[in-house]
Chains A and B, each alone.
Chain A
Amino acid sequence: MWNDLVQIGIVLLILFVLMVPMGKYLYIVFGDKESKLDRIFLPFEKVIYRISGIRQIEEMTWKKYAVTLLAINGILGVIAYFVLRFQGGLPLNPAKIENMEPSLIFNTITSFLTNTNLQHYSGESGLSVLSQMLVITMFMFTYAATGLAVCIAFIRGLSSKGRSIGNFYQDWLRAHTRVLIPLSLIVTLTLVALGVPQTLDANVTVQTLEGGKQTIAMGPVASLESIKHLGTNGGGFFGVNSSHPFENPNVFTNIIEILSMWIIPASLPFTYGRMVKNSKQGWVIFGVMLTIFLLLLSLVYSQEKAGNPAFNELGFSHNQGSMEGKEVRFGIPMSALFTSVTTAATTGTVNNMHDTLTPLGGLVPLSLMMLNSVFGGEGVGLMNMLMYAILAVFLSGLMVGRTPEFLGRKIEAKEMKLIVIALLAHPLIILMPSAIALGTTLGTEAISDSGFHGISQVLYEYTSSAANNGSGFEGLGDNTIFWNTTTGLVMLFGRYISMVVLLAVAGSLITKQPVPETLGTFRTDNATFGTILIGTVIIIGALTFFPVLVLGPVAEYLTIR
């Protein structure tokens, strides 16, 4: 028990040390001032601007910004479609993988397009080496960069004046050249040193000790592994993702992977604090995220540690905790922490099987994805949390009867309408399709465990899609036209509705005349506001999702206890 807490504590401590400097670094990268970084990166970026035909960095309105973003996303999607459709005949296909089927391509492309990385194929048998690199690895960079760019643009809307929220090309390119690529280089090589393969061979066949044959699949794993976590993407090289010993061979790689997916979402609040010129704002947001995170982490840890109730009932030992679906090298603490971080940061990589988590343990990843704002995916998590913050300001304003302000800008009907759209879209695209899937045989056929757990499986699949997480209760037989299409649509809506809507909010706020701060101003940089914000997030989340959680995990818990 104490050892477990020390292990988790060490990882948290490393995060605390890294996050503030990282937040500052991101602030410099996306700031409009010249910096020392220009000397290193600008010559390289200039080449890319020149080849792209971009002569000058123009200021963009939120509409222009959104259109450029959607255009680039669309173009990449189309190119990736052709690579997957014809991968069988393209080079770098040592394992002779066949072309992918269209509904699965639609699902795969939207999945990576939206930074969800839900995988209805299995990496070992469904993708050529070329596809793993050109489609999957590429998408992981480009879409993480998109999320980061949008988040920065959104904060600019809250913090600056005028009409422009920045230039998408510049933000997007810098997210690559100054953040994701350099970090990936370091992480990739560290992972290889610790045992993760990086080769162009697809497999090795060995003669086992007992004289049998074992074919061991491998490939350029480490390069994908690094950006998979740094970009909070989560799509594994292998079917079982980071529980595969090649993706995550030991506790050190496990910690590196946890920190890789956590560091950018955790440092963005500090970037935000700097951009709005009040670092306390950043600390409040971070504090709220950390509090909710720790509450849920302790639930999943204690549940898994206590063991599977069904086993305990029969008289099995529970001193190892629930080990079905987990790896010995990680044990309970490193599995529970990984599960919480991957669903908080909506990465979706897993180092243990979430379907096999104990009922209340499984409630935790579900809840974190439903909240979708506790750290959250690259950029979008902070945006969602700020959306809640505006909502909290609005609610507080209603209670005392005055016009709500956030960062010196009046929050009025237009912003609130937009925010309500974003707020309602998330539960709507989870609960509606879950109801449809549970009501039709097309959906229920895929369920592998009857009873209440089946409801959790369906719910998890759509929650994961909507939150652009991508992990799954993998017992679900989800590679069918029905599931590929519905989850594909949910992922698209989950990604782009809130992105565009929140950009519109930023576009509206940026044109407002700042209101001077007075004694009567409702402060958003202290513990009181932090508490209100925690309350807002939890109450909204609970009101929306509690009924369905009762039908799934809670009912399962009560029946096997």
Chain B
Amino acid sequence: MKAFRMSLIMIVLCGLAFPLLMTGIAQILFPKQANGSILYNEKKQAIGSELIGQSFKNPKYFQGRVSSIEYDANGSGSKNYAPSNEEMIKRTQKDAEKWLKDHPGKTLKDVPLDLITNSGSGLDPHITPAAARFQIPKIIKANQGKVTEQQLEKLIQKHIEDRNIGVLGQPRVNVLLLNMDLQKVIQR
């Protein structure tokens, strides 16, 4: 009986009181983060989350990493391929060859690996700066002269997030933020 009563108290305390109290405080102190760091356009429409990657099929935009779930953020996941999995090796080779079409004379070795591999979550919002620069020729071609190499280089430079406090993490580019700026340029 003692055990039963104490169990009930702990269920209420840890299962209800704790998360609800935390939600209350978080909503007051950090409303933006607590609600998923949602980004809005000029018309105040929600267009995505700063933390969650988006699918970019249109060649006019920068692309993010491979996502077997097509950036469906109602779920999450990847194929969990083994390193020896043939499907994965084939997929990577195919993607690499597609990218190499815009880079005559270059070989597999030059394709940034993060661009042709599936992220763990399938929602990775970032690519490496090298992977962003690698896309420049494709984007110039697709936009038919609306944007120049210098402009793209400047955009990428602006969006490179360096290692935190100089050492922690990896240099990276947030694809959605980059494309939001790119959109302003190409829709002018």
Contact = CB atoms under 8 A, between A and B. Distances in A.
A208, A324, A556 pick with most chain B CB within 10 angstroms? A324
A310 B84 contact: yes
Report the contact-size class of chain A (Cβ under 8 Å from the partner). Answer: 35 or more
B11, B20, B123 pick with most chain A CB within 10 angstroms? B11
Interface stretch (A148-156, A190-198, A366-374, A392-400): A190-198
A289 B8 CA distance: 37
B146 interface: no
A412 interface: no
Contacts of A218: 35-36
A324 B118 contact: yes
Interface of B: 1-11, 13-16, 18-20, 22-23, 25-27, 29-30, 33-38, 45-49, 51-58, 61, 65, 71-85, 88-89, 92-93, 96, 107-114, 117-128, 163-164, 167-170, 172, 176, 179-180, 183
A326 B117 CA distance: 9
B37 A195 contact: yes
B167 A188 contact: no
B28 to A, nearest CB: 11
Contacts of A311: 89, 92, 113
Cβ-closest 3 pairs across A and B? A138-B15, A251-B169, A243-B120
A325 B80 CA distance: 7
Interface in A50-66: 51-54
Given A188-B26, A207-B45, A217-B75, A449 B85 contact: yes
B48 to A, nearest CB: 5
Contact of B114 (A122, A328, A559): A328
B54 A209 contact: yes
Contacts of A560: 83-84
B26 A198 contact: yes
A317 B110 contact: yes
A323 B117 contact: yes
Contact of A176 (B13, B113, B119): B13
Given A52-B5, A194-B33, A246-B51, A328 B75 contact: no
B112 A320 contact: yes
B84 A475 contact: no
Given A216-B74, A329-B172, A222 B26 contact: yes
A29 B34 CA distance: 33
B81 A75 contact: no
A214 B74 CA distance: 8
Nearest to B176: A209
A72 interface: yes
